[in-house]
Amino acid sequence: MNKKSLMGLAVAVLLPVFCYLVLKYASDQAVDMPRKYLLDTVVTRINNGKTITDSIWHTTANIRLQNQLGDTVSLYDKQGKIIVADFFFTHCAGICPKLTANMAKLQQSFIRGGDTRKKIDTSIVQFISFTVDPERDSVPVLKNYADRFGVNPDNWWMLTGSKDSIYKFAFEELKVDKFSEEPITPDFVHTSRFVLIDKKYQVRGYYNGLDSVSLAKLARDIGVLMLEKDKKEKSTVFREIIDLSWLWLIVVSLVIFFVVYMRGRRKING
């Protein structure tokens, strides 16, 4: 086989793989990921004579409270899930019922397609509502409130417990006062904010839980965070190439066609 034939065979083998990887890389880059909030510090280091600056983003600390079923649960119980959190109290006559209703709509949006039983996919997002009046919002009160709104406890906790812990979490870990459109006093956390937390427990967004446009953006951001990859993980390109059975079928077909074509050319020329 001459050089020209070898080059043609190489193109037939490598071109489909190359095109797939280029398109895949381009699609990954085109996704506009939600920004990160709550910068802890910036670290400067020297690597191979180059100055590199790393941003250290705040990781939300764990918190243990009781949910509406009376179970003691913690934020870190839900590893590998995206979290949407808000703050409410059950006897609120203002914004809280609307916030809860909108959170319920978000939960319902994860009903599995084609599931006639309307079963919610609980593997993607964990919804968490913290009561800001835990003295009155006991476990039975939260259970009654949750039932009113059709809350599925499999991936939506309504939490009560130590008021100091809840308020410290709101102000020090999620900093809801810093990114709230309405004033929030240290004595009472009353905010319309929904907070988006990624799989690494880092805050990725604040949304107005009463605004349909803001809620649509939250739904969109949840979707793209599901696709986010850890840049520190080892590249899986080689593994992906091996797993492309459909693409290799095309490649093999092209090689067979090329070999048959070349044999036919030889017979004609011979």
116: left (phi over 0), alpha (psi -120 to 50) or beta: alpha
Q: What is the pLDDT of residue 184?
A: 84
* Model confidence pTM above 0.75: no
Q: How far is CA 17 from CA 9, 30, 252, in A?
A: 14, 20, 12
SS (H, E, C) 137-193: CCHHHHHHHHHHCCCCCCCEEEEECCHHHHHHHHHHHCCCCCCCCCCCECCECCCCE
Distant-in-sequence contacts of 45-50, Cβ < 8 A, 24+ apart: none
- Tens of pLDDT along the chain (270 residues) come to 555 555 555 555 555 555 555 455 544 445 688 999 999 999 988 888 888 888 999 999 999 999 999 999 999 998 999 999 999 999 999 999 999 999 999 999 888 655 545 688 888 999 999 999 999 999 999 999 999 999 999 999 999 999 999 999 999 999 998 877 777 888 888 899 999 999 999 999 999 999 999 999 999 999 999 888 765 545 454 455 445 555 555 655 665 666 666 666 666 665
β-strand partners of 64: 74
pLDDT of residue 122: 86
Structure confidence at residue 47 (pLDDT): 83
The amino acid sitting at 214 is S
